[in-house]
Chains A and B, each alone.
Chain A
Amino acid sequence: MDELITMTAADLSAAMAAGEVSAAEVTTAHLDRIAAVDDRVKAFLHVAGDDALAQAREVDARRKAGEPLGPLAGVPVAVKDLFTTVGMPTTCGSKILQGWRPPYESTITRRLRDAGAVLIGKTNMDEFAMGSSTENSGFGPSHNPWDLDKVPGSSSGGSSAAVAAYEAPLALGTDTGGSIRQPAAVCGVVGTKPTYGGSSRYGVVAFASSLDTPGPLGRTVLDAALLHEVMSGHDPMDSTSINAPVPPVVEAARHADVAGLRIGVVSEFSGDGYQPGVMTRFTEAVDLLEALGAKVTEISCPHFKYALPAYYLIAPSEASSNLARFDGMRYGLRTGTGSAEEVMALTRAAGFGAEVKRRIILGTYALSSGYYDAYYGKAQQVRTLIIRDFDAAFSQVDVLISPVTPTTAFPLGERVDDPMAMYLADLCTIPTDLAGNAAISVPCGLADEDGLPAGLQVMAPPLADDRLYRVAAAVEAALEQRWGHPLLAEAKGLAR
């Protein structure tokens, strides 16, 4: 395997800056890798090919002209197909947008382009970000590079698979209920959900507007931090965007020191439904942190058990409204004949998959007059209680930790007919989305039962994203020292 594709973004950046290798060579290596493995991983819906090379050559030209370039210049980034990109299709994993080419660019991909990153392609995802496996994609699922019969997690499943398969060192995802952290955990890579409002949603097709948070995926904590820093920051085009400096995540990633840090283990996130191997690796990570000098206690967050039901009321409600615009009148699929009303209904029936339809109906139900107070209204109150649980917890500890998801990657097909079972994958990740604070998933080992990756989740208060990287970097360094190599080196399947 070409060495270029196993290098981290940080190392690639340094090599290009030192003139050891060109951006064009780096991109070519990754395009070759995609061509070699993506027929099996199926991470990508669109590969930018010549366009990616053109982007790379432009970066080489800028560097040659003496322009000062940042740490992402020339680094290939895979983009979840939820971001609008000019010159590349944007499908959101849905047949209803098949072939749609947006006439405008998302703020985040605009920032990446300006920083010289090479947008190498659009990755697969669950349709409109609804799901935990990519099996809800309108174009077929992606496969976990660790074991191709297993799911790569989701909804940023294509992104996590691409990074784990060495198709790109970095990827963009979005996290609404856990959709960056859960795929990162089951693919053995790093993924962060930044503070809500910390990264712009302009050009990110909305699923649940008050929860959606764009974030980075990478193979190392430092790589994720590098992407996190460039993509984040205030955007006047997004009213929910926070006008505050980006937390110093890169600096934190380089200072992996947890001595004296107060860490709380969420007591509600264990017990039945948690795969023993996942819990074992988690417990070891807790012990490791203590050994590194952190002060670990147990913290109860009593309302966290209502997070899942609250989420499955709030998210579908907002989604039912956000997805109303897909009606075949202005863009995307139009099918069927008859009146406008009939064509809308037939188009949506043909273009949306089963999970999307389920959630639209559920959301419409929860918002209906007569039901609003008991469902949506109540869920918003639960949200307040969860925020208060976090506030109370963070008055006692600096970060909270838990497993990322109760099991390792489950087999493709196992949960497709059981929506409730699928929803359980988000158990540990949802509270952070409801509260709007930040969380990271960092690999903490392989489960004994199946040799598949498990992730450690670290949660921090809003705007304390840097704390996540500090803890994650410490864990990463200590574990790699213990293993003797990065976790991904153990993957039997494709990953090597």
Chain B
Amino acid sequence: MTVTYESAIGRYEPVFGLETHVELGTRTKMFCGCGTTFGAEPNSQTCPVCLGLPGSLPVVNRRAIEYTIKIGLALNCSIASWCRFARKNYFYPDMPKNFQISQYDEPLCVDGYLDVAVGGKTVRVGIERVHLEEDTGKSLHVGGATGRIQGAEYSLVDYNRAGIPLVEIVTKPVPGTGFLAPEGAKAYVTELRDVLRTLGVSDVRMEEGSLRCDVNTSISPRGSGTWGTRTETKNVNSLRSVERSVRSEIARQAEVLDGGGRVIQETRHFHEDTGVTTSGRSKEEAQDYRYFPEPDLVPVAPDEEWVKAIAATLPELPSARRARLIESWSLSELEFEALRNAGALDVVEATIAAGASPADARKWWLSELARRANDMGIEVSELPITPAEVARVAELVAAGTLNDRLARQVIEGVLDEEGTPDEVVAARGLAVVSDDSALLTAIDEAIAANPDVVARIRSGRVQAVGVLVGAVMKATGGKADAARVRQLIMDRLS
């Protein structure tokens, strides 16, 4: 590929859209009482219904409807007062009935939006629809080189996943993000994932497949006023891939158009290793799914009371929380992002609740603790130190019992599981020396040992006192309050 993204984006306007599938974290499947545990033995969580055995019938899981309405409300959608499930008919071995029970022209939630921060601005991503469907089984393709379908000799199908409730969230096309399109797509998925996690409706792990994205991309020449043909990219398995796939598609489509060609409306497959997409099924022979209302299920008609009751259970959403914390902690957007990206929002909030100031709480969690978590390859919330303990350390520093250097040692001690902050201070003898007489001894020794420094100080070069302070700190093993030492020295020399 010769056209770079930078070149492409200079000459073309991108539009992106996303179709996201979310596996709901219900205890049982969408239409039957089978379990939904990830990683169970193959075909050990199936029944006549999710296996689609002749004569079986679906019955809707109430909690799945509730979770879907919750998602719709969080995305500012209107909730349908009456809607039906529909059959999407096509043949595929991982679909036991060779039709999928889904929703077609009557989705449960429509017409919402999600505000996303992209490059310092807010982009309002329109939500076209949120609907419910059932997941398919999973196939292992055997015999080919890559484990993919191409070249496989046969496939092995496990229906444990068949029937798990799946929510499909479709955005409206998002124009106007220009060169930030790849970032914008990634930011949308990130924000959506946070919303879903906050709602508690799914564990949204892209690596486990409980959050899956198909990314739509199109470009058109700058100023043309029309939109181009879009392609759909599948197999986008991480946030980073969302960004990379949009980037690579924009560049690829630009190269096609530059060469006088036409972008084909098709499904493409994203490759993690190369970062590019390759052609899959051509969408021009669009599948005729022959949708019709599911006759085995009756309509779902959520009344106002039920929707209100669900709305009342909505937790504080990420955007509201962001606004609240930025204000109450006096943060800039960037400072908030730093906290959010470090996964430190909850622990900082808890540390403040335990008595620390916002500044102190942020300082400790973003420096020592973030570093240590990174080294250990874990989240800050998983470190063996509690917000209450961090608050205690901050308290000790504020009281003068510890200085910063000692405080770092105390934190290390707690992380190494030597005990609580107070226990570590006691065990290691880390308290600041607050007894002036001990300090004066060290001060007098320093003065005696550095007459030239003393002379400089007396002649007006007050900053030279730092040398004496340093000598005293060294002599006391760092256990002195530097400011106090300075004060005492100045008093001595005056």
Cβ contact within 8 Å between A325 and B98: yes
A426 is an interface residue with CB less than 8 A from chain B: no
* Contacting pair A102 B98 (CB below 8 A): no
**Residue in B53, B97, B157, B292 whose beta carbon sits within 8 Å of that of A376 in the complex:** B292
- Whether a CB of chain A sits under 8 angstroms from the CB of B51 is yes
Q: Tell whether A204 is near chain B: CB-to-CB under 8 Å.
A: yes
Q: A317-B292, A367-B290 are in contact. Are A103 and B53 (CB under 8 A)?
A: yes
Question: Of residues 221 to 249 in A, which have CB atoms within 8 Å of B's CB atoms?
Answer: 236-240
| B residues less than 8 Å from A340 (CB atoms) | 93, 155
- CB of B398 within 8 Å of the partner chain: no
A92-120 interface bits toward B, Cβ cutoff 8 Å, 1 = contact, 0 = none:
10000100101110100000000000000
Name A126-159 residues within 8 Å CB distance of B: none
A240 & B53 in contact (Cβ 8 Å cutoff): no
| In the complex, residue of chain A having the shortest beta-carbon distance to the beta carbon of B90 | A324
Give Cα A318–Cα B290 distance, bound, in whole angstroms: 11
Known: A90-B54, A325-B96, A330-B96. Contact between A209 and B295, CB under 8 A? yes
User: Closest chain B residue to A92 by CB distance?
Assistant: B54
Residues of B within 8 A of A102 (CB): 48, 53-55
* Complex: A344 Cα to B87 Cα, angstroms: 20
Residue-wise interface mask of B (21-60) relative to A, using a CB-CB cutoff of 8 A (1 in contact, 0 not): 0000000000000000000000000011001111111111
Question: In the complex, A210→B155 CA distance in Å?
Answer: 35
B94 nearest CB neighbor, chain A only: A329
When chains A and B are docked, how far (Å) is the Cα of A459 from the Cα of B48?
35
- Complex contacts, B57 vs chain A, CB 8 Å: 201-202, 237-240
Q: Quick check: B295 and A325 within 8 Å, CB to CB?
A: no
Q: How far is the CB of B387 from chain A (nearest CB, A)?
A: 47
A43 at the interface (CB under 8 A from B): no
Assess the B297–A344 pair: CB atoms within 8 A: no
Name the B residues within 8 Å of A372 (CB-CB). 290, 292
Q: Does A384 contact B (CB under 8 A)?
A: no
Determine if A324 and B93 form an interchain contact, defined as CB atoms under 8 angstroms apart: no
Report if A329-B54 is in contact (Cβ < 8 Å); known contacts: A236-B59, A324-B99, A369-B290. Answer: no
Residues of chain B lying within 8 A (CB to CB) of residue A376: 292
Residue B89 CB within 8 A of the other chain: yes
User: Smallest CB–CB gap between A343 and chain B, Å?
Assistant: 10
Chain A residues whose C-beta falls within 8 Å of the C-beta of B297 in the assembled complex: 239-240
Inter-chain contact A367/B89, CB cutoff 8 Å? yes
B residues in contact with A326, CB < 8 Å: 54
CB of B298 closer than 8 Å to a CB of A:
yes
- Considering the complex, give the chain B residue whose CB is closest to the CB of A200: B57
Give B49-79 as 1s and 0s: 1 = Cβ < 8 Å from A's Cβ atoms: 0011111111110000000000000000000
- A239: B residues at CB distance < 8 A: 57-60, 296-298
Q: Does A389 sit within 8 A of B, measured CB to CB?
A: no
A237 touches B59 (CB 8 A): yes
Cβ–Cβ < 8 Å partners of B93 in chain A: 329, 340
A306 within 8 A of B: no
> Which residues, 79 to 94 on B, are CB-close (under 8 Å) to A?
87, 89, 91, 93
Does any Cβ of A come within 8 Å of B416's Cβ?
no
Docked complex: A315-345 residues within 8 A CB-CB of B: 317-318, 321, 324-327, 329-331, 340-341, 344
Contact status B55-A204, CB under 8 Å: yes
Does A206 lie within 8 Å of B55, measured CB to CB?
A: yes
B305 to chain A minimum Cβ distance, whole angstroms, is 21
Distance of A326 Cα from B53 Cα, bound (Å): 9
Q: Are A368 and B55 interface neighbours, CB within 8 A?
A: no
| A344–B91 CA distance with the chains assembled, in angstroms | 9
Chain A, interface size category, equals: 35 or more
- The yes or no answer to A170 lying at the interface (CB within 8 A) is no
Residues from chain B with Cβ under 8 Å of A238 in the complex: 57, 59
Cβ–Cβ < 8 Å partners of A344 in chain B: 91
Q: How far is the CA of A367 from the CA of B47 in the complex (A)?
A: 29
Chain A residues lying within 8 Å of B60, measured Cβ to Cβ, are: 239
Q: Answer yes or no: B288 CB below 8 A from chain A CBs.
A: yes
A residues in contact with B288, CB < 8 Å: 368-369
What is the chain A residue whose CB lies nearest that of B49? Answer: A237
- Say how far A320's CB is from chain B's closest CB, in angstroms: 8
Closest partner residue, chain A, to B155 (CB atom) = A340
Asked, given contacts A84-B55, A202-B57, A239-B59, whether A103 binds B48 with beta carbons under 8 Å apart, the answer is yes
In the complex, are the beta carbons of B54 and A325 less than 8 A apart? yes
Contact with A along B86-123 (1 / 0, CB 8 A): 01010101001111000000000000000000000000
A329 to B94, CA, bound (A): 10
A97 to B55 Cα, complex, angstroms: 13
Q: State A103–B54 Cα separation when bound (angstroms).
A: 11
Within 8 A of B (CB), among A184-212: 201-206, 208-210
Q: Which residue of A lies closest to B154 (CB)?
A: A340
Q: Is A123 an interface residue (CB 8 A)?
A: no
Contact B292 A321 (CB under 8 A): yes
Q: A330 to B46, alpha carbons, bound, how many Å?
A: 13
One digit per residue, 1 when the CB lies within 8 angstroms of any chain B CB and 0 when it does not, for chain A 353-387 equals 00000000000100111001000100000000000
Complex CA distance for A206 and B58, rounded to whole angstroms: 12
Q: Assess whether A240 is in contact with B298, with CB atoms less than 8 Å apart.
A: yes
> In the complex the two chains form, what is the Cα distance from A118 to B56 in whole Å?
24
Residues of A within 8 A of B292 (CB): 317-318, 321, 367, 372, 376
Residue of A nearest to B159 (CB): A330
B99–A331 touching, CB < 8 Å: no
User: Whole-angstrom distance between the alpha carbons of A306 and B468 in the complex?
Assistant: 107
Complex-state Cα separation, A133 to B50, whole angstroms: 34
Task: Check A324–B295 contact: CB distance below 8 A.
Answer: no
Give residues 289-317 of B contacting A (CB, 8 Å): 290-292, 295-298
**B49, chain A: closest CB distance, angstroms:** 8
CB distance from B283 to the nearest CB of A (A): 15
Verify A329–B157 contact, CB threshold 8 A.
yes
Interface centre among B48, B99, B295 (most CB of A within 10 A): B295
A106 close to B98 (CB less than 8 A) = no
Residue in chain A with minimal CB distance to B294 = A209
The residue among A106, A236, A344, A367 with the most chain B CB atoms within 10 A of its own CB is: A367
A388 to B60: give the CA distance in the assembly, Å. 30
Complex interface: chain A residues within 8 A of B58 (CB): 239
CB-defined contacts of B298 to chain A, threshold 8 Å: 239-240
Whole-angstrom distance between the alpha carbons of A23 and B89 in the complex?
48
3 pairs of A and B residues whose beta carbons are closest in the complex:
A324-B98, A209-B295, A367-B290
Given pairs A100-B54, A325-B98, A330-B52, 5 additional interface contacts (CB within 8 A): A90-B54, A102-B53, A104-B53, A104-B56, A210-B295
Interface residues of chain B, those whose CB is within 8 Å of chain A, are 47-48, 51-60, 87, 89, 91, 93, 96-99, 155, 157, 288, 290-292, 295-298
A: residues with CB less than 8 A from B are: 83-84, 90, 92, 97, 100, 102-104, 106, 201-206, 208-210, 236-240, 317-318, 321, 324-327, 329-331, 340-341, 344, 364, 367-369, 372, 376
Q: List 10 A-B contacts (CB under 8 A).
A: A84-B53, A97-B54, A102-B54, A104-B47, A201-B55, A206-B54, A237-B57, A324-B97, A325-B97, A376-B292
